[in-house]
Structure 1
């Protein structure tokens, strides 16, 4: 018998890619199970299925940096509950990240994609279900977006939850209105500007940063975090990178370029959530 759960939950995370670098991503998860009927005439109670899968995805993938540990581009060290890694880029540069072990997902794969992460997740999840489950399938898919969007990574050191992790991210659509009219041109500009970007808060910038490499570090509730990234793959902002402040940052930036225009920005943070900000100069 076949059981399925569509659109189970979504996960927001970042991952390392040889070409693209540090990539913020949002995936929607769906699942299916094959197995024999139990004494209740069920393969497995839907409540158990959804609770088990959501808990695991939330704890093991969401707001983590996904690292393909079989990649030849990776150097990784574990020490006293923490991880420090260096990731080689196709461009010749590198990304260095360190933090508590819970901020990373060490995926047994050569590259991170929907199929490799699903296969790895299934191997971890199999023991969480009763023996009557013969096969578990997990599917990750991106939100279908027909308008401009961007991938960004960030960290929020003041956040009490997992957003404090220095390298997690989102795939997010953007809507921009000038004097009440949608403006596709400005949306395209921001989608290009923030393509695979790291949004760093100037307050977290370390003194050893250079024109070529930016070094961010901070202490948060979960531990010490550090990130070194090529400057060309980062945008420095003066505010914390909450979606509320990013929406305002975008609105203010456009308003300075378009004086006497009412600017309204609807900025998403992943799937189905975000903030609205307005500005006029």
Structure 2
């Protein structure tokens, strides 16, 4: 008997990717999977626990907190030497960015464009070898979180982080909630989403050069990282860019812009996690 096994909302992946018109975008996708195959002697297609462990490990290692690069796209130059990858990407009408980092921080996807469908196709091709011959078909799908209100795409790097957040070009698609004196301020949420639309959030101490581009460098546990971004797509803060500091930065900025009012900010970092900060001047 052939049966379909499915795992909805298996996990989520936070990453950045290169977009033909918009540049480098932070993104968050929900991953789901299904497998079609014959039942074994236990009456299973395969063990749920094994499937979830294998798929989560693959997605965590190959996509999560990486920069996804469409290797077949035009206007892209990639060089790999030893365990490091350097790339230059021309996009839009006249913009360009460049990045150099350890190879483990960059996912080279053989496609012309990063989409949920193209990344799913790539993942399936990589994963097929890990499943038994009894599995006739593997499907993976990615979807955005449904967000009714304001949200932004941001990329950043946290050099002090012990895990993969230290990578200089990873990101999130994040919602934001703001209250003024206890009242929901949807106009401020929309305004802040516009301020941080397709943005790179940089820390002052990582900036090594400023001209038409902002040039960032740091060395973390995984190695040296470099990134050059158009100044128009960067937003600088004087702390690290953890979600805790980002929430406080937004609250402090809005408190200055709205004197006498108590500002409360709930800033998300991807899906179902984040920080809350308050400020008043």
Output the TM-score relative to the length of structure 2.
Answer: 0.99
Task: State the match for 2:181 in structure 1.
Answer: 179
Task: State the match for 2:121 in structure 1.
Answer: 119
Please show how residues 97-246 of structure 1 align to structure 2 within 5 Å. Answer: 97-206=99-208, 208-210=209-211, 212-246=212-246
5+ long unaligned stretches in structure 2: none
Tell me the alpha carbon deviations over residues 238-277 of structure 1, each in whole angstroms, 9 at most, x when there is no partner. 1100000000000000000001100000000000000000
5+ long unaligned stretches in structure 1: none
Instruction: Measure the CA separation in 2 of the matches of 1:185 and 1:16.
Output: 29
1:138 offset after TM fit, Å?
Answer: 0.2
Instruction: Measure the CA separation in 2 of the matches of 1:268 and 1:56.
Output: 25
1:29 offset after TM fit, Å?
Answer: 0.2
Task: State the match for 1:96 in structure 2.
Answer: 98
Task: State the match for 1:256 in structure 2.
Answer: 256
Asked whether the equivalents of residues 60 and 105 of structure 1 are also in contact (C-alpha less than 8 Å), the reply is yes
Instruction: Measure the CA separation in 2 of the matches of 1:223 and 1:31.
Output: 33
Asked whether the equivalents of residues 214 and 228 of structure 1 are also in contact (C-alpha less than 8 Å), the reply is yes
1:92 offset after TM fit, Å?
Answer: 1.1
Output the TM-score relative to the length of structure 1.
Answer: 0.99
**Structure 1 runs, 4 residues or longer, greater than 6 Å off:** none
1:40 offset after TM fit, Å?
Answer: 1.0
Secondary structure of the 2:133 match is coil
Task: State the match for 1:49 in structure 2.
Answer: 51
1:48 offset after TM fit, Å?
Answer: 0.6
Instruction: Measure the CA separation in 1 of the matches of 2:133 and 2:41.
Output: 14
Instruction: Measure the CA separation in 2 of the matches of 1:226 and 1:89.
Output: 19
Choose the corresponding residue for 1:74, options 61, 73, 76.
76
Please show how residues 27-38 of structure 1 align to structure 2 within 5 Å. Answer: 27-38=29-40
1:101 offset after TM fit, Å?
Answer: 0.2
Tell me the alpha carbon deviations over residues 73-98 of structure 1, each in whole angstroms, 9 at most, x when there is no partner. 21000011000000011131211000
Instruction: Measure the CA separation in 2 of the matches of 1:193 and 1:187.
Output: 10
Secondary structure of the 1:55 match is helix
